[in-house]
Structure 1
Amino acid sequence: MHQDIVITLSVCAVILTTVLFEYRMQRVEDKCKEIELKYDLHQETAGKDDEIVDTPLVDDNENIEVGAALKRRYSKSGDLMEDELRELSAQRTIAFSAALGHPMDDNETVSEVVMYEIVDINIGEGYDPTTGIFRVPESGVYVFHWTSVTIPGKWYETELNINGHQKRLNSCNNKGENASSNLSCSTIVIAEVKESDIVWVAKFGQEGDYLMEMYSSFTGWKIGEIPKSDDN
C-alpha cells in the first residue's frame, strides 16, 4: 500500500513538472513575440546613424537576458555588431584553382616554377598566374593540391615549395614499356601558413621531359584558423 502511494505521488510530480514546463515555455514563446514586435518598432523609429540601443527591449526580470542578447546583437540600424563582423571576416572564403595553359617540355631547367595560367577561381586574389605563385592573403591552415599529367613515354617530377622550402614531391613517370595512355598523378598537402607566405609548384631537379597542359592543375584553399598558441 505504501509503495502504491509513493508511485502515485511520483507520477503526479512528473505530470505537474511537465505541465509547469509547458506553461513556462509558452510564456517564453509569447514573450519572444513581444520582443520581436518591440524590436520592429525600434527599427522603424531609429535613424541609420544612431548608436547601439542601450536599454533592454523587455522590462521584466524574467526575460532581461533575452533582451540583453538582442541588444548586444543588433544596433538600431539592424546591422551586426562590430565583433560579429570581425568574426564573419575571419571566416571568409579563400580559394584558388588554376590549370596549365601550355605544355612544359624543358628538361634542362632546374626548379623552374610551373605557371598555371588558366585561372578558374581566385577568391582572395592570392594567386598570380603571371608568376605561378600564391601569396597567402591571411594566416591559417590551408590545403594545397596539384595534379601532373604526362603522355605515354614521358615523365615529370614536381615539388610544392613554401617560402623556398620543399614540402612534398610528385613523380609522374609514364615511361613504362606498356604505357599506352596519359598518366595523372596528384599530391595533397595540408600546411599552416602565415600572411604573405609564398607557395608554388616547381620542377624538381633536371629530370622530367613533359607536363601536359589543361589537365595539369594547382589548387589551394583555407580550411581554418591557426590555433592561437601557434600563431606567433
Structure 2
Amino acid sequence: MLLTVVIGISLLALISAQQVPGNVAFTAAITEDRTVNAGNTIVFNTVLNNIGTGYDPITGVFTAPRGGVYTIAFNAVTQANSKVYVDLVHNDVYQVSAYGSSGWGSYATASTTLNLRLKKGDRVVIKARHTAYLYAEPKEIYATFTGFLVGLV
C-alpha cells in the first residue's frame, strides 16, 4: 500500500514537473540483486526519471539543484532469511532508518519517507547500516530511491 502511494505521488510530481520549469523530481531503482556492505552508499543505477538532473546514478547521490522542501522516499525488498537495514543521510547527518528482516521462505520490505528542507547543493544518500541484501530483477523493481521538490521556502 505504501509503495503504491509513493509511486502515485512520484507520478503526480513527474507530471507536474513537466509543466512547470524549475521543478525537481527523481526516481532511481535497482534492477538486479545486490548486496551492499555496511557503511556504503546504495547506488540505484537505473534512472526512471531525473527532472532537474539532481540524481547521480554513478554515485547514488541526490544533490538538490535548488533549495526548498523535498519529499524523499526509499523502498526495498529482501529475500528469504535476509535483512535490509539502511539509513537516509542528509549532508553526512543521519535522518531516519528503514528495516526489514525475513524468515525462512518469506520476503520482507523496508521503507521510509520524510520531508527535508534542502539548500541548493545539499546531498542526500541511502547508506547500508549493516550489510544489506536488496532483491530485484529487471521486471520486478522493488528497491527505489525517490525525491521531489514540494515547494520553495
TM range (shorter): 0.7 to 0.9
Maintained 8 Å contact 1:145/1:220: yes
- State how far apart, in whole Å, the 2-side matches of 1:102 and 1:131 are: 17
Deviations 1:74-111 (A, max 9, x none): xxxxxxxxxxxxxx75xx321000101332225xx331
Matches for 1:73-92 after TM superposition, within 5 Å? 92=22
2:93 matches 1:165: yes
| 1:36-47 mapped onto 2 (5 Å cutoff) | none
Residue 217 of structure 1: which of 133, 144, 148 is its match?
Answer: 144
Partner of residue 186, structure 1: 111
Distance 1:135 1:216 in 2: 20
Following the alignment from structure 1 to structure 2, what is the Cα–Cα distance between the partners of residues 138 and 147?
24
Q: Which has the higher helix share?
A: 1
The offset of 1:184, in angstroms, is 1.9
Q: Distance in 2 between matches of 1:156 and 1:101?
A: 16
Give, as a single letter, the amino acid of the residue that structure 2 aligns with 1:170.
A
Q: Which has the higher contact order (CA 8 A, sep 6+)?
A: 2
What is the TM-score normalised by the length of structure 1? 0.53
Cα-to-partner distance string for 1:172-205 (whole Å, 9 max, x where unaligned): 111x3xx43322221001110000001110101x
Contact kept? 2:86, 2:132, Cα under 8 Å: no
Give the CA deviation at 1:169: 0.5
Give the Cα separation in 2 of the matches to 1:110 and 1:185.
Answer: 16
User: How many residues matched?
Assistant: 130
Aligned with 2:35: secondary structure? Answer: coil
1:196 aligned partner: 121
Alignment gaps of 5+ in structure 2: 1-19
Per the TM alignment, residue 209 of structure 1 is displaced from its structure 2 partner at its CA by 4.5
Structure 2: which amino acid aligns with 1:210? Answer: Y
Three-state SS of the structure 2 residue aligned to 1:220 is strand
2:29 matched to 1:102?
Answer: no
Q: Report the equivalent of 1:136.
A: 64
Helix, strand or coil: the match of 2:42? coil
Q: Is 1:154–1:208's contact at 8 Å kept on the other side of the alignment?
A: no
SS of the aligned residue for 1:131 comes to: coil
Show structure 1 runs of 4+ deviating over 4 A: none
Does residue 93 (structure 1) correspond to residue 18 (structure 2)? The answer is no
For structure 1, the 5+ residue unaligned runs are: 1-87, 227-232
Aligned partner of 1:211: which letter? L
**Greater Cα radius of gyration, structure 1 or 2:** 1
RMSD after superposition: 1.6
In 1: Cα distance, 2:132 partner to 2:51 partner: 33
